[in-house]
Structures are given as structure tokens and as C-alpha cells.
Structure 1
């Protein structure tokens, strides 16, 4: 993952606040250029801290949230109101402070809406394809301005885990995951081609417990199978937004 630029932060709070400002800038610029903006969210404690920071940031008023499209890179296949769901956690973190339009929010179907994770994945593929068609694209994917991801301690991103076949799939943008090594066991995830279609991919890495995972994805010998996080990259920009305790001694990036 030597193509990625590393941007260290002194604390998780600083990481959340500075990432919030970065997100707001990207969305504002996208709306200036295209009239709308599209953000793909991640789960995890750090991802939710970023959402909360965006909601509390005075500069969030610079974004017209009614023209922001929101998707998820993955979701736990549990009932819709379950607190395990990334979408539920994101809504809690936003605290109703972002004036999003419901028609532009795209949650992955829950287990009380679809019988199987395969059906939920197919439904999400169809929703993505419809959005792409409305944008005049035949790629099956809408334009993603920004893909936020969190790095797991085992190097997983979204619900793509090391040593699993899902990491190698290129034939579909969204698929079901069964027997996940991290509970809950059934999930729906974007695959690497969908993730890497985003203009910007930012990987959040917080805490000393992620230090080994961060080193693993930066290893020149890393493969998608051995370390899925090593395989993510944006078409224009890839950032590793890290806390200093995950990469001790690294000086602040002068371009950060």
C-alpha cells in the first residue's frame, strides 16, 4: 500500500475532527462541480466518531445535505432496528443534525426485510445500478466522491476478511458473506472493484491495537488475501488517516 499517503493525528479526537473537515471540503467541492455529492460510509467506532464530528462541525452548514447521497460499504445482516447495524449506529452518531433527504440515503436491506443475505446483496446491486443509470453510467455503480473505510485489527475492510474468497471476487460489486470471523456471522459487503471505483478512498486507523495491521497493509509483500486493507485505493487519492500510536514516531505529513 505504498501508494497511500499517511496523515498522522495526535489523538482519536483530532483524527475525527480533522477527517470531518476533510469530508466537508470534499462534499462541498463535489456539489460545486456536479450539483450533488456521494459519500460511502463505514462502520466501527472510529467511523462513527467521524460522523458525530461532522454533525457537530459548524462548517457542516457549507454542505447542502439535501444533495448528498449516502451508501454503505457493508452491513450486518440483522433486523433493521438492531444496534449492530452500521446504519443504525451512523444515525445515532449524526443525532439528527444533518438535513439528509431520505430518498438519497441507501441502507442495505435488513434480515426482517429480505429472507437471505444473497437477496439483500442483489437488492443493493439493483439500487446501485439504478443510481448509475440515472447518472448516465452503464458501469453498474454511481460516482463515489469519497469512500470512508475502517481498518480492522486483522487488516479487514468493509466485510472483506483475510484468507476469504470474497476478497478475490471481481464479478459483482456487492455480495453476501457467511460465517464471518467477526460477529455477526452474516453480512453484505461491497467487493474490492466497487470500493476501488471511488475517487477518494480514506482508511481510518486508530489506536495502538491497529499498529500491526497498519504495518501489514504497508508491507510490500502484502496481498489482498493476506491483508485486504492493502488492496484498497482511490482512483485519484488514497489516504491513511492514522493516530500516532498506530504508527509511532512518524512525523506529521507536511501536506496533511
Structure 2
């Protein structure tokens, strides 16, 4: 079970949040590579998630990372054809992966498969991704030990594609599941499950915007996972919430003036 008590870091706005998250991620990668390789990172989509990747690409510190020793995964994906503009992978390639070029081997980029002859539906994609995870598993598990797992959060409190009141919230055996009725289009998605998410060494939840404030407050108060799935986003060694002033506005004791100066 994940035991890391959440830490909350508040940033002035979404742009600063993305830049700070990028700097934090690059620093963490450099630190990790001083004593371990390979390093496994789980990426997220969304406005702030992709802005974070873009900031990584723009940072000169990116050249301090040995990208040949970094493996990239995704916490969830829209079940759409490869190259579709709405896929998290497609957006991540445009924001960061293409800019890294040959520094990041193609074999280190582990995308969730889209529809195809061998992948007719979300269940097949979930099985294929679980097999890819097993192929890179740590000696003691069914998947890599993720060093940093990034998650965005929706206004309804969902993370990855684990939505309120869905049976996938309670999946205890599968590492990857298909979601056929996402309340946010497209309806067909593939997602890591909490049993896998919670094995990550560090889980970072990134959220910005006033519309996220109620869910941020509920999640950090330990709300029921049925109504606020993000409450179950915990890492083994660290759980970090990277938020902006607007999304932190409903936290207990929040002082808008003090937060704005943070």
C-alpha cells in the first residue's frame, strides 16, 4: 500500500506551474541517473501536462539527461488511431519526443496501441500494454518500477482515465483496463489501474484552474475514491501535488493573498 503523505506546492499560475514541473522533472531525472538506470517515467496529457513537456524540451537542462536511459510510458490513452491529434502520445511527440530526436531511442517510447488488425478494441489494447509492461518488469513484479508517475486531474476528480463511479476504480487484478463510457470524449480509452499507479516510487498530480479547486480540496481531504478518484493517487515514497493558486483556493486555511505571493 502507498504510504506517502501528499505534499502540496502552490504556484502563481498555470504557466509557472508547467515551467516548475519541468524543472523539477529534469532535476529528478539527473539525480536518479547518478545511481540508477534505466529510469521509468509515466507521462500525462492535458493542457498543463503537455505544457510541462514543452517546457522540458525548451530547457537547456534537458541535455544533462541521458535520454538513452529513460523509458517513457503513459498513464492513459484515448483509443484512437496512431497519429491522431487527440492522442496523448501524439501531443507528447510534438511537445517533447520529436525534439529529443536520436537522444531518446524509439524503443524507449512505450505508447498504448491504437486500433488495428491486431487490436480491435480497448480490451485488446489493454492486454497489449500489460504485456509491454511485463516485458520491462522489475525482477519482483509485473511492470517496471516507475520512478516518477505524472497525473493530471479533471474537474470531476478523475486521474488517468479512472472516472468517478466507474468499476475500474476497484480493479484489483488487472494493471491496465479499457474504459468504454468515458464522460469526457472520446468514450473509448485505456488506463493504468490504481494497483499499478500506487507502485510508483513518486506520484505527481498536476492541476491548474479554478474549476479544479473543489476536486483538489476533496482529494487532499481523503474523499472517497468513488467520488474523487484522485484521492487514491499515492506514491510509495512521495506523493506531490503541483497546483496553481486558482486550483488551491478551496484548501483548508487557503489565503488567496498569501497564495498569490507564493
- Structure 1 length normalisation: TM-score? 0.93
Matches within 5 A, 1:167-206: 167-206=169-208
Q: Where does residue 116 of structure 1 map in the other structure?
A: 121
Matched residue count: 249
Q: Which 10-residue stretch deviates more, 231-240 or 90-99?
A: 90-99
Task: State the Cα distance separating 1:179 from its structure 2 match.
Answer: 1.1
Task: Write the deviation string for residues 198-243 of structure 1: whole angstroms up to 9, x where unpaired.
Answer: 11100001011111111121234x1111110001111000011000
Equivalent of residue 129 in structure 1, options 129, 134, 137: 134
Equivalent of residue 93 in structure 1, options 92, 95, 105: 95
Task: Write the deviation string for residues 62-97 of structure 1: whole angstroms up to 9, x where unpaired.
Answer: 101121100000000011111110000111111622
Q: Where does residue 252 of structure 2 map in the other structure?
A: none
Q: Which 10-residue stretch deviates more, 109-118 or 204-213?
A: 109-118
* Cα pair 1:129 1:142 within 8 Å, conserved: yes
SS in structure 1 of the partner of residue 149 of structure 2: strand
Matches within 5 A, 1:200-219: 200-219=202-221
Q: Where does residue 30 of structure 2 map in the other structure?
A: 28
* Cα pair 1:78 1:112 within 8 Å, conserved: no
1:153 aligns with 2:155: yes
Distance 1:81 1:95 in 2: 13
Task: State the Cα distance separating 1:131 from its structure 2 match.
Answer: 0.3
* Cα pair 2:10 2:244 within 8 Å, conserved: yes
Structure 1 residues 63 and 243, CA gap change in structure 2 (3 angstroms): same
Task: Write the deviation string for residues 168-220 of structure 1: whole angstroms up to 9, x where unpaired.
Answer: 11111101111111110111100001111111100001011111111121234
Task: State the Cα distance separating 1:11 from its structure 2 match.
Answer: 1.3
Equivalent of residue 81 in structure 2, options 55, 74, 79: 79
- Structure 2 length normalisation: TM-score? 0.91
Q: Where does residue 246 of structure 1 map in the other structure?
A: 247
Q: Where does residue 104 of structure 1 map in the other structure?
A: 108
* Cα pair 2:4 2:238 within 8 Å, conserved: no
Distance 1:70 1:236 in 2: 20
Question: How large is the Cα RMSD of the aligned pairs?
Answer: 1.7
Structure 1 unaligned spans of 5+: none
Structure 2 unaligned spans of 5+: 250-254
Task: State the Cα distance separating 1:2 from its structure 2 match.
Answer: 9.5
